[in-house]
Structure 1
Amino acid sequence: MSYVSPSELVTKMIDAGESKVFMSTRDTVIRAYMAGAILALAAAFAVTITVETGQPLVGALLFPVGFCLLYLLGFDLLTGVFTLVPLALIDKRPGVRVRSVLRNWGLVFVGNFAGALTVALMMAVIATFAFSVDPNEVGQRLGEIGEGRTVGYADHGAAGMLTLFIRGVLCNWMVSTGVVAAMMSTSVSGKVIGMWMPILVFFYMGFEHSVVNMFLFPSGLMLGGDFSIADYFLWNEIPTVIGNLVGGLTFVGLTMYATHARTGATRPRPTTGKAEDAEQEELEVPEKVGA
């Protein structure tokens, strides 16, 4: 059968986290680079569709194609390793230490950022004919997104920061659900269906994804967005990364682990025997008939 039960699923999650901890630096960075680049292309694709059709839902419906491709190719996003890698530490897998978890997160962050930045530069070149003309309509929209989702939060102060953090939490709740959902099936079609649904939710709802933002905000800076690099890191990337960590680990990784890998004690069953149950049923029959 193509369906993987939850108990088996959690074991696969822990195994996946352990394998990422011990992956070589070279492979970790390459896989993270390609994940960041593919997701950035998907974000550019979704923004282009939204601008050309005027329908954000259409862009959101098609954005998950990038996530599905990078997952099926075995590449790694920061949001995914936030959820999976700590499980190997919590499960006390041999050789897994806090330092090795942080090492993995750091390498994946660098790789994702480099891949997304590469695509951001390429898209900026396309939108401006190599910076020789003003940005086209898609380029202008990318600049507006970067400005609205940095300065827009800053205008609200602490309330804006909290909103940004919560959007980061909700984002990786959905994205990590997509990562886990892909493990519920052994078929390509089952994996794609499992991933598509939560990724659609996160993108259409405008939640904050740290890797998508690694593309959107550098693009915005290159294409005339009225915000600074400091605005980007302080009023988006850093709070988003923290929110993504909390959302993925708390609402997906730890909950799955707690209820399927370390299940609670079962409640005691009733002690009445079959004879007593049958006698009780016979006593109740006349009352039902009389009624």
Structure 2
Amino acid sequence: MAYVVPAEFVSKMVDAGESKLVMSTRDTLIRAYMAGAILALAAAFAVTVTVNTGNALIGALLFPVGFCLLYLMGFDLLTGVFTLAPLAVLDRRPGATWTGVLRNWGLVFVGNFAGAITVAVFMAIVLTFGFSEAPNAVGQKLGSIGEGRTLGYAAHGGAGMLTLFIRGVMCNWMVSTGVVAAMMSTSVSGKVIGMWMPILVFFYMGFEHSIVNMFLFPAGLMLGGHFTFMDYLLWNEIPTVVGNLVGGLTFVGATLYATHYKTAPKRDLTTRADTRAKRAAA
């Protein structure tokens, strides 16, 4: 599979972060739009498979197809740039600033949201014959997902908010691992296998992904879900975005950068051996 060792692929992570910061506004928005749309379509596909088979594991096994496709085509998700863009600043790359990082995050958020909303509208039309009849089983499922993952958290108050945040953290721990895994191989098959595994984990475990939710919840509202857009923002999207940021940057970006790129000085075993020898002789 042409495996790339950590010291090499972490260097690629820093280079990738720098490339995000210098990308034009137009290219950033286009790539983010397409990423949001493709991931949304993959989510719709996974929900359809789950409803039609009655087996959530099958849906989770197939969902990563969208993630793999969008990254192989060079498109960007907010969850990925949360992890990569700051590394250029940490490495003090010329021109890399936190202002540039925030600009990138903002543009990618807008592009992802626009792409996901587009697919949400398309799927709502498909599942209701242009809003001329009630949603089918897949549409009803989309509506219930939105309710359970907004009002369900709200019903638990602070404990629900904490749970939502932690699910966001754990989600991007896995998703960003998938982003990085694509850099661990120089072959398409190796990249796909590397990405597939952590994305399967996040989706089946029901962790909260901000871009997937940009599709699920607006689609749920259009398909009769009994919650409001403000419920979606306060009791899902905003805490999920914060959790995704923390999870990707701390558990993936910063840890790999610290231990494989900015490694600590190696221990001097020779000196320790000499010390032990002198103690033994005494």
For this structure pair, what is the TM-score category when the shorter chain's length is used for normalisation?
over 0.9
1:33-83 deviation per Cα after TM superposition (whole angstroms, max 9, x unaligned): 000000000000000000000000000000000000000000000000000
In structure 2, the residue corresponding to 1:61 is in which secondary structure?
helix
1:18 equivalenced with 2:21 (yes/no)? no
How far residue 272 of structure 1 moved from its aligned partner, in angstroms, is 8.5
After superposition, where does 1:59-138 map in structure 2 within 5 Å?
59-138=59-138
In structure 2, the residue corresponding to 1:270 is in which secondary structure?
helix
What is residue 2 of structure 2 aligned with on the other side? 2
TM-score (norm 1): 0.93
1:4-57 deviation per Cα after TM superposition (whole angstroms, max 9, x unaligned): 111111110000000010000000000000000000000000000000000000
Unaligned runs of 5+ in 1: 281-291
Residue identity opposite 1:155 in structure 2: A
What is residue 172 of structure 1 aligned with on the other side? 172
What is residue 223 of structure 2 aligned with on the other side? 223
What is residue 251 of structure 1 aligned with on the other side? 251
Residue identity opposite 2:10 in structure 1: V
In structure 2, the residue corresponding to 1:134 is in which secondary structure?
coil
1:52 equivalenced with 2:49 (yes/no)? no
Residue identity opposite 2:228 in structure 1: S
Aligned equivalents of 2:272 and 2:163: distance in 1?
Answer: 54
How far residue 273 of structure 1 moved from its aligned partner, in angstroms, is 8.5
Aligned equivalents of 1:15 and 1:54: distance in 2?
Answer: 43
Aligned equivalents of 1:132 and 1:272: distance in 2?
Answer: 79
What is residue 36 of structure 2 aligned with on the other side? 36
After superposition, where does 1:139-288 map in structure 2 within 5 Å?
139-271=139-271
Structure 1 residue ranges (4+ consecutive) displaced by more than 3 angstroms after TM superposition = 270-274
Aligned equivalents of 1:194 and 1:157: distance in 2?
Answer: 37
Aligned equivalents of 1:273 and 1:224: distance in 2?
Answer: 72
The count of residues paired between Structure 1 and Structure 2 equals: 277
In structure 2, the residue corresponding to 1:65 is in which secondary structure?
helix
Residue identity opposite 2:193 in structure 1: I
Aligned equivalents of 1:96 and 1:269: distance in 2?
Answer: 38
Aligned equivalents of 2:159 and 2:253: distance in 1?
Answer: 28
Aligned equivalents of 1:236 and 1:86: distance in 2?
Answer: 24
Unaligned runs of 5+ in 2: none
Aligned equivalents of 1:240 and 1:271: distance in 2?
Answer: 49
1:86-134 deviation per Cα after TM superposition (whole angstroms, max 9, x unaligned): 0001100000111110000000000000000000000000111100100
1:229-254 deviation per Cα after TM superposition (whole angstroms, max 9, x unaligned): 10000000000000000000000000
> Percent identity between the aligned chains?
77
Aligned equivalents of 1:239 and 1:155: distance in 2?
Answer: 16
How far residue 271 of structure 1 moved from its aligned partner, in angstroms, is 4.6
Aligned equivalents of 1:271 and 1:180: distance in 2?
Answer: 37
CA distance 1:155–1:96, shift in 2 (3 Å)? same
Residue identity opposite 2:268 in structure 1: P
Residue identity opposite 2:126 in structure 1: I
1:142-190 deviation per Cα after TM superposition (whole angstroms, max 9, x unaligned): 0000000000000000000000000000000000000001100000000
Q: CA RMSD in A?
A: 1.5
Structure whose alpha-carbon radius of gyration is higher? 1
